[in-house]
Amino acid sequence: MAKHRTGRVNDEVLKEVAAALREVKDPRVASAFVSVTGAEVTPDFKFAKIYYSSLRGDKKELAKGLASSAGFIRRHLAQSINLRVTPQLTFVEDQSISHGAHISELLHRIESESPAETAYEDEN
């Protein structure tokens, strides 16, 4: 039962944090085109990890900008989600997109290095 509620709260926190990020005026965050990829709220709803990725900008400056705007985002979260306790937000860079791109690059490299083997497999 509690897992279902935690999952619903995770989804709602993800949606509301993404909406709040569009309103952040910090240039380190606003210019970096940040997208929220996930949210993990603890079972007691006191803490939340927000996973994000960005396409441009300095990663260290973006992390500082997100940390400094955490209070604004938390206030937005408190106003939009009716929870007894509004979770403290911790922002974590999501490495899954870059990891997936690296794996894709390796697969393409392997495919281009061994064209004879793939041609043989296509004939059979």
Q: Which fold has domain 2-93?
A: GMP Synthetase; Chain A, domain 3 (3.30.300)
Domain ranges of the chain: 2-93, 95-124
Q: Give the predicted TM-score (pTM) of the model.
A: 0.76
Position 115 confidence tier, pLDDT thresholds 50, 70, 90: low
Tens-digit pLDDT profile for residues 61-79: 999 999 999 999 999 999 9
Order the strands of the 34-41 sheet from edge to edge.
34-41, 47-54, 88-93
Instruction: Say yes or no to pLDDT of 123 above 70.
Output: no
Burial class (CB in 10 A: 0-12, 13-18, 19+), 77: buried
Burial class (CB in 10 A: 0-12, 13-18, 19+), 111: exposed
* Percentage above 70 pLDDT, the chain: 90
